[in-house]
Amino acid sequence: MSANKIHQPDGTGDAIGQGARIGLFDSGLGGLSVLRQLSHRLGASAHSFVYVGDTARCPYGDRSAGEISHFASQIVHWISNQTVDSIVIACNTSASVSGDEVRKTANVPVIDLFSVTADLVASQFNRIGVIATSTTVKRKAFSKAIHERDSHKSVTEIACPDLVPLIERGLSESKEMDAALKKYADKLLKENTEAVILGCTHFPFVEAALARLLQDRVQLIDPAVLLANSIAKSIAAANPQSALALDIDTRPSAYTNGQARISRSHIYTTGDPARFRETAKICLGYPLDTVNGITVDELTMTSPVISLVEHAVNTTTVTPNMVPATT
């Protein structure tokens, strides 16, 4: 069976309309894998994005539920006040721990990646693998979502605590990464899984290496692709005139390096912006235009800052916490 992704949207993402400004957040740069799919699939001319990578406190996977909930609530509160229309939890660890909680407090719709993924795998596969962070696996977030749809499905969830730190260190393509991935690939092959969900948003950045180790015997599923397609379908259904612009039936569903770039995005990190941009280039295959620094303390601010960032992006003036685009 091919290791290429499957794409079949469902109704997830109905809360996102045409022309919306979408907020996203992750423990680090993993959520960029979600942002690139949304940017590519929805069309840069119709959408803009606000992204927060909490690199200063990454990884989340082995933190306590209380810490994760606090971090997620803090970030969602801040993003909610940046003129966004909806928020995507581009961190499955956060979604598994605090998804319900932040939905109750956010002033905009909050979306995760579990439902759209479970809809697809429960309808097409019997033996399903999930690789994710320790917390997501412990919470059985994907298993529960899949079994809500079909209790007879076999789901094997494998915690992969060493992958996120390696990716955040820029070691997506390294001997250390190959060694780490091999032990997980061996487990998945031993379980005779038909499909494997990339259950952490960092993991699409090592998809090619994992596919090689799985010897094209297992279908890899990137939830971000499913979510982006679902939103595009929902927008096209509600606005038939937009279907042509979205190229629903003709545009390639998945991102590939060089095919599309993250655009119209305001990207923030609580860590070092220069380091974030350097590592993001390794993962994405191209440099981000601008990465903005924001301290953890600044996340408690509620006043919108997007207009200031837009001004900074379009001038040669760079504030101390911003990294300008370079070749």
Residues labelled catalytic? 91, 200
First and final C-alpha spacing in the chain: 39
Residue with token string 């297992």: 218
Sheet containing 219-221: order of strands: 154-159, 127-132, 195-198, 219-221
Q: Which two tokens stand for residue 115?
A: 């439902």
C-alpha pair distances (Å), 158 with each of 145, 169, 219, 312:
16, 22, 16, 43
User: Does residue 306 sit in helix, strand or coil?
Assistant: helix
C-alpha pair distances (Å), 86 with each of 19, 51, 76:
11, 12, 10
- Specify whether the CB–CB gap between 279 and 29 falls below 8 A: yes
Q: Which two tokens stand for residue 57?
A: 């406190």
d(CA 260, CA 103): 31
- Specify whether the CB–CB gap between 120 and 6 falls below 8 A: yes
d(CA 158, CA 164): 14
d(CA 327, CA 325): 7
Sheet containing 21-26: order of strands: 110-111, 86-89, 21-26, 48-53, 265-269, 291-293, 322-323
C-alpha pair distances (Å), 32 with each of 124, 131, 179, 316:
27, 18, 24, 25
